[in-house]
Amino acid sequence: MNMWTRLVSLVVCLAMVVQLTACGMILYPERKGQRAGRIDPGVAILDGIGLFFFIIPGVIAFAVDFGTGAIYLPGTRSADAGLQPETTVVQVDPMLLNEDYIEAVVTSHTGKQVDLGAEGVVMRELRSPVALAVAMR
């Protein structure tokens, strides 16, 4: 191999290594699973550099970072970003379940008065935590 071929190979290899390490998922694996928030400018710039020089790896880096949530700064989610409220499981006798009993149990555990007959209230029977997570989406 001549010197130019080696130099070009080295530059391409270094550029690919830089691009692979520019992916926010590799830099910040602890951010995986975030849904929204402020975008980390450092990760966005590194992904953008990859997009500028190498179209396909840059697009992949952005897709991975947005898909996993690694591009978002931690602790910056907005109020409407699909946050799941804290869920508390209350064991009750299924034979006692009616609207009045459910209202009383919810009031006793939250301290807030509820009216299940109010307009816009939707009641669903959910049999597992997975069903609850799906229903809250």
The pTM of the full predicted model, rounded to 2 decimals, is 0.43
Q: Is the pLDDT at 16 greater than 60, yes or no?
A: yes
Mean pLDDT within 58-64: 82
Residues 8 and 61 in one domain: yes
pLDDT > 90: percent of the chain:
0
Number of independent structural domains in the chain: 2
**Residue range(s) defining the domain that contains residue 44:** 3-68
Residues 63 and 7 in one domain: yes
Residues 54 and 105 in one domain: no
The answer to whether residue 106 sits within a structural domain is yes
22 vs 1: which has the higher pLDDT: 1
- The residue among 68, 83, 102 that closes a domain is 68
The answer to whether residue 85 sits within a structural domain is no
3-state secondary structure of 12: helix
> Nearest to residue 48, comparing CAs of 66, 35, 30, 34?
66
